[in-house]
Structures are given as structure tokens and as C-alpha cells.
Amino acid sequence: MFNRRQFVKASMAASAASAFPSIWWRARQASALEPCETGVNLVIVQLEGGNDGVNTVIPMSNGTGMNYSTYTTLRPYIGIPVSELGPTQVGNDPLHSGQLALHPHMVGLKSLYNSGNLAVILGVHSLDTSLSHEIAELIWYRADPALTVGTGWMGRTIGQLCAGQQAAVAAVDTQSELTPLFAGPNASVLAFDDLGDLGFPVQDTFGSMETGDYKAAFGTIHNNAATTGTTMIQAIGAAGAATVAKVDAYATANEDLAVNLNDLINGDANGSGGFGVVGFPQRFELARGLRTVFALMKGAQPGNVPLGCRIFRVRIGGFDSHSEQGNHIPLATKSIAEKVMDNNDFGELEFHGRLMHRVSSAISAFWQDCVDDGALYKNTVIMTFSEFGRRIEENGNANQNSGTDHGTAAPMFVIGPNAVQSLGPTHVVGGMYGAYPELDQPDDDGNLVIQLDFRDFYAEIINRWLGLSAPTTQSILNGWSYTPQGFLVP
């Protein structure tokens, strides 16, 4: 027998997405992959809480507009001085030609920009006017501003990629419950937040022979159920049978192979990127999630046997910065390494700056692990999104309590192989896309005016990276007519 805790440990919130939102999953043996379980990788990084895009990509000059002047006027406390922005200066605003920079703590992403691996897509929004976290997240998950559909854009995408491939499991959500992003027909997705929780549900006292017998009986029962009874019984049967087939292979994925991410998490100095040499343990969730993704991309051990998962979602929270967003401490006064070591990771100040460092460092370390692998970086793209940005003007009284309220448009990032590196159908063209919203010309609610509909951002990923046709992409996005942006090209 096995108890509920043991069972949850085995199946750990994996799901046939359209039928079970949390605990079941369908999978198959890694040695017999379905067509949609092979191909390029996509890693979706969610910045939960509404990231302050104005302090993520920062104006350094006005150009032909007024963005820099408005920025310094409306953000007297949380604004970043231009003197800090030289090392992270990137391209110019395509609309007004003003110089732009990443947050000064984002040196890792700046390096990727320099190598042509980072595209910055400016002014992206979903047309949501409620600015509610729950509603905005659903809109981004479903790619539907009117919320007229109940499935997720990635669930619909996987449904198209895996049509007719009933045993395929092409995606993993690295948290304990499946997000609505993956809801959809024919979208079988694993959901778990710790590889260590994967194990077959038997009592710990069972020996290897008893465990083998138990697995065989478990598989027989569920295989029979998968072909008989009601739709619900068949779904449960298929999920249980898949548990037998897949759980052991996933449990062999080796997180120790992500050397640069491990350095970042543990404060070591073994990798090629120097991510952990500051000497203080980071232990933050985005790096841990990406370490799991890297292990799964490498495959089952030994021999790196492909597991079939190639679309992933990871998250980092904490972006709802209504107050105490933080005053930037000049890097000449305190280096990033000193800030990391200060009072357990950046101390009490620079709350948003700490998050920017975590996002940049984790993505950069993950990318370096993919590069060190020798092949993974050539067919992997990373994209970021957040449910909305923040308001232009800081709240509070120009002191440590200052923050930003819910806003609209914000920049999104796409990281991937450049033209020389890519083995996929397309490659990333680094640079600036869209336009920086005009800070001195807000909408009637005082928010940034949208420059790019988020569905154009999604469509470029679906069409040009995952390789689905333009008509199929339009269908996935509920009839949205896609305008190519150019950050992914053949």
C-alpha cells in the first residue's frame, strides 16, 4: 500500500492539462519520442507581480522626445542616475533615438546583448485596463484580452504541435500546480517544483523485487483503464500508466550538471561564467527553476537520453513594488558583489534592483550552462513576460517608502542563438524592437501607452521559433493578424 503523501510525491502535480489541473500527468518512455517531443527548446520566464519596466530599460537621453527629462522629474527617489548607466547601455529607442540602458545590475543580460543574443521588445501590453493581477495574468496566459476562451496560448500551441500524438508530453511547468498557460486540448504537461520529489508511490520498506512487481501491477491496471470506461476513467488510466513509464526517467535528470547555475545558487566558483564568485549563497527561485530546466533538457542519465520535454515555464515573484522599491546605491560606493553579500543579499534597500540582478544573473548563468554544453544553446530560446508594468510616476514622498503602482506597457526579453549559432529554424536578431513609450504623453489614466500588442510578441515565438504556420498561429491567437517584428528571422 501507499499513502497520499507517497502518491503525491510520485505524480507531483503533473497533468493532462485539459482534464486535470494539478496532480495527474501523462508521459511515455523516453526511448520512443513522439514527433512533437523533438525539436527546439523554449523557456518561458514569468516575472510575477508586474515588473517596473521603466526601471528595467531606462532612458539615458531624450533624443527627439522627452523621456529622459520626464524620467528624472517623475522619479526623484527610485530613478537611476544616468552616471550609473554607461556599463549597461544598450541600443536607442527606435521611435525617438534616445539612448537606453538596462538596469545597472543587469550586467549579465548586457553581455548577451553585446553578443547579439538578446532582443529587447519595448512597450508590450495586453490592452487590459483593469490592472488586476488575477485578470491580467489570465489574459497573458490565454492571449485573449476579452477572456472569451478558457485555454492557454501555450496549451493551444502544444495541441497543434502534438495533434494526433496522444502519448506526447512536450512541456514542464516548474511549480507544484499547473498554470492556465498550459490548459488546452491534447496538451499533456508535467508540473512539479522539485526533481527530488519524483518517485514511485510505494512504501519505503518495499524491496526492489516488490517494487518491480508493484509497478507492473500498477501499469497493467491503468493500461486497461485507459481503453475502457468513461472518458474520465480513461484519462485517469492513461495518467497512471504514464506514471509507471516516465517517473524513473525524470528522476534521473542531474541538476549537478548545471555548473554555472549551481555556482550562483551556492556561492561557488566552478563554472566558466564567474556567476558564484561573490561568495554568498543566492538560493533564489528563478535560478533553481532554471537548473531543473537545464537538467531536463540534458535528459535522463546516464547517456543524456532525451526525455521529450522542450517547452518550460519558470517563475520569479516579488515584483508588486507599491512601496520601498528602493533607491539605487552607486556602484562606485558598493559593487554588485558587495551588495549581494550585504545583510543576506542586497540588504533592505534596492528591492527592485535585487530582482533585476536575480533575473539577469539566473538567465545569464543558464545560458552559459547551455553554451558550455556545446549544443543546447544552439536550439534554445528564452522569453520573459510580466502581467503588466508599473506607473510612470513614483508614489510616496521621494523617500525609502516610494514605489510604483500597477501600470501598463513594459519591455520583454528574448534570448537565443544568433545567426552564426542557431541550429533551429530561425535565430535571434539582437537589438531594440517596438518603441519606448513616451513618458510625457501618458494615457488618460496616467499610464504608458501601448506600443506593441502582446499577441505579436507571442506570434513571433509560435510562428518563427516553434515553426507553426501563419494560419495556425492566427488560429491559436483567436484570429489575431500577426505583424512580424523581426527579432526572430530565418
Per-domain residue ranges of the chain: 4-489
pTM as predicted:
0.91
User: What is residue 240's predicted lDDT score, i.e. its pLDDT?
Assistant: 62
Residue type at 478?
N
User: What is residue 262's predicted lDDT score, i.e. its pLDDT?
Assistant: 94
User: What is residue 5's predicted lDDT score, i.e. its pLDDT?
Assistant: 36
Alpha-carbon separation of residue 383 from 22, 49, 167, 487 (angstroms): 24, 17, 27, 12
* Spatial contact of 44 and 181, defined as CB atoms under 8 Å apart: yes
Give the separation between CA 402 and CA 234, rounded to whole angstroms. Answer: 55
User: What is residue 136's predicted lDDT score, i.e. its pLDDT?
Assistant: 97
* Spatial contact of 26 and 449, defined as CB atoms under 8 Å apart: no
User: What is residue 3's predicted lDDT score, i.e. its pLDDT?
Assistant: 33
Q: Where are the beta strands (DSSP E) in 259-318?
A: 311-316
Alpha-carbon separation of residue 198 from 48, 60, 250 (angstroms): 26, 48, 7
Q: Which of 249, 261, 231 shows the shortest CA–CA distance to 108?
A: 261
Bridge partners of 171, per DSSP, are 189, 311
Dihedral of CA atoms 129, 130, 136, 138 in degrees, nearest 10, equals -110
Give the separation between CA 11 and CA 176, rounded to whole angstroms. Answer: 10
Q: Which of 105, 51, 46 shows the shortest CA–CA distance to 319?
A: 51
Task: Output DSSP code: residue 449.
Answer: P
Q: Is the dihedral of CA 112, 114, 116, 121 positive or negative?
A: positive
pLDDT (tens place) for every residue of the chain, 490 residues total: 333 333 333 333 334 333 333 323 333 444 578 899 999 999 999 999 999 999 999 999 999 999 999 999 999 999 999 999 999 999 999 999 999 999 999 999 999 999 999 999 999 999 888 999 999 999 999 999 999 999 999 999 999 999 988 678 899 999 888 899 999 877 678 888 888 877 665 545 556 666 677 767 777 777 777 677 777 777 666 656 655 666 778 888 999 999 999 999 988 889 999 888 776 666 688 999 999 999 999 999 889 999 999 999 999 999 999 988 989 999 999 999 888 887 666 766 789 999 999 999 999 999 999 999 999 999 999 999 999 999 999 997 777 789 999 999 999 999 999 999 999 999 999 999 999 999 999 999 889 999 999 999 999 999 999 999 999 999 999 999 999 999 999 9
Residue linked to cell 535560478:
287
Give the separation between CA 444 and CA 32, rounded to whole angstroms. Answer: 56
Q: Which of 319, 258, 320 shows the shortest CA–CA distance to 289?
A: 258
Range list of H helices, 88-230: 107-114, 133-142, 153-161, 208-225
* Full strand arrangement of the beta sheet holding 57-59: 57-59, 99-102, 89-92
Give the separation between CA 48 and CA 181, rounded to whole angstroms. Answer: 14
Helix axes 231-251, 4-11, angle to 10 degrees: 80
Give the separation between CA 222 and CA 147, rounded to whole angstroms. Answer: 36
The conformational region for residue 313 under phi > 0 = left, psi -120 to 50 = alpha, else beta, is beta
Alpha-carbon separation of residue 17 from 13, 188, 245, 427 (angstroms): 11, 5, 18, 30
Helix axes 107-114, 351-373, angle to 10 degrees: 40
Rg of the Cα atoms in the chain: 23
